[in-house]
Amino acid sequence: MAILIDKSTKTIIQGITGKNASLHAKFMREYGTRIVGGVTPGKGGQDVEGIKVYDTVCACMKDHPDAIVSSVWVPPRFAMDAILEAIDAGIKTVVVITERIPIHDMLYARAKAQENGVTVIGGNTPGLISPGQALVGMLPAITFKPGRIGTVARSGAITYYLANSLNLAGFGESTSVGLGGDPILGANFEDVLRMFEQDQETDAIVMAGEIGGVYEELAAPYIAEMTKPVIAYITGKAAPQGKRLGHAGAIIEGTMGTAQSKIDALARHGAHIAETLSEIPELVAQALEDVKRQKKA
């Protein structure tokens, strides 16, 4: 099993005729993702990497009513409309690669998604992958291998590093999710943790956050309710207050959003805290061993 995407998931690509979208459509398809159509207004009838292009999501869905995932690769000013179009057409998961989406646009799109029970990943996400099954986005497939550890991170680079470190230690990933680096996101850490908690083939979860925002602190209380261990890492401990580093959302304002406030909240609710990225595989191994001992007791 996996969360959000697997080998049977049918996917469409919005903005498929763009340079990056068409390139990664090829990579996704080569990986095994079932891409059934693409959408670019005014370019219906064209063909991109053997994928038929439609003018609208609704037109695509008429031919492929069982498609449930869309990835969005359009310019920022069109992202809200693309997300809303996917929601209206019946898509269940929207993976928003687009970065620097206007804040009010993303707030509105997120509210509409929540009203309709749609999961939005991103914006500014590198995507998600269920290794050996499906890839949606621009994650480097070579970095991931099938396994039973779920990962969720805001940073694409850290997502790659987590997978590589776990692989070298003999683990693999059930699904790896890049939440995205924009200030306003669709799904948050708690949303993804809940999915992993319910996935029968995920044994433990690694989450990697960063300074700025409150997504990690908001997720902390749920960790106390989980039956699966959560290993957490927060980057940006040395960042000065008020200065953005990296992602648009990585800026500390006030007392919340600091690395220490996130670490304290996560530790208080039962997460295993990694001080460095290199500690994560060892903590995963220890946590899984603890679970085994508890089951035997």
75: CATH: 3.40.50.720
* Residue 50 forms part of a structural domain: yes
CA–CA separation, 42 and 53 (whole Å):
10
pLDDT of residue 190: 97
Residues 295 and 158 in one domain: yes
* Residue 132 forms part of a structural domain: no
- Residue 269 is among the residues annotated as catalytic for this protein: no
Residues 91 and 188 in one domain: no
Residues 154 and 265 in one domain: yes
Q: Check residue 273 and give left, alpha or beta (phi > 0: left; psi -120 to 50: alpha).
A: beta
Nearest to 15 by CA among 101, 75, 80: 75
Q: Quick one: which H or E segment has residue 231?
A: strand 230-235
Cis amide linkage into residue 123, ω under 30° from 0: yes
* Residue 135 forms part of a structural domain: no
Task: Give the residue ranges of DSSP H helices in 65-155.
Answer: 76-89, 103-115
Tokens standing for residue 279: 């500690």
Beta strand residue intervals within 69-201, DSSP E = 69-72, 93-96, 119-122, 127-130, 134-137, 146-153, 173-178
Residues 35 and 154 in one domain: no
- In a structure prediction context, what are the per-residue pLDDT tens digits for the chain, which is 297 residues long? 699 999 999 999 999 999 999 999 999 999 999 999 999 999 999 999 999 999 999 999 999 999 999 999 999 999 999 999 999 999 999 999 999 999 999 999 999 999 999 999 999 999 999 999 999 999 999 999 999 999 999 989 999 999 999 999 999 999 999 999 898 999 999 999 999 999 999 999 999 998 878 899 999 999 999 999 999 999 877 666 655 555 555 455 555 668 888 999 999 999 999 999 999 999 999 999 999 998 887
Residues 155 and 281 in one domain: yes
Tokens standing for residue 225: 């309710």
Residues 147 and 115 in one domain: no
CA dihedral for 116, 25, 4, 175, sign (positive or negative) = negative
* Burial class of residue 240 in the structure, from the number of CB atoms within 10 Å of its CB (0-12 exposed, 13-18 middle, 19+ buried): exposed
Q: Which residues partner with 70 through β-bridges? A: 12, 94
Residues 104 and 211 in one domain: no
CA–CA separation, 217 and 252 (whole Å):
13
CA–CA separation, 60 and 152 (whole Å):
30
Residues 149 and 270 in one domain: yes
CA–CA separation, 54 and 5 (whole Å):
23
Residues 54 and 148 in one domain: no
CA–CA separation, 195 and 201 (whole Å):
11
CA–CA separation, 234 and 209 (whole Å):
5
Boundary of a domain, candidates 125, 158, 179 = 125
Domain, as residue range, for 12: 1-125
pLDDT of residue 235: 86
Boundary of a domain, candidates 125, 150, 175 = 125
CATH number of the domain encompassing residue 222: 3.40.50.261
* Residue 100 forms part of a structural domain: yes
CA–CA separation, 257 and 271 (whole Å):
17
* Residue 130 forms part of a structural domain: no
Residues 57 and 188 in one domain: no
pLDDT of residue 287: 96
Q: Buried b / exposed e across 167-185, counting CB within 10 Å, b at 16+?
A: beeebbbbbbbbbbbbbbb
CA–CA separation, 108 and 4 (whole Å):
22
Residue reference for tokens 């064209």: 46
Q: Check residue 288 and give left, alpha or beta (phi > 0: left; psi -120 to 50: alpha).
A: alpha
Residue reference for tokens 């095994």: 32
Report how many domains make up the chain. Answer: 2
Q: Which of 64, 247, 269, 272 is catalytic?
A: 247
pLDDT of residue 192: 98
Residues 190 and 250 in one domain: yes
Residues 269 and 146 in one domain: yes
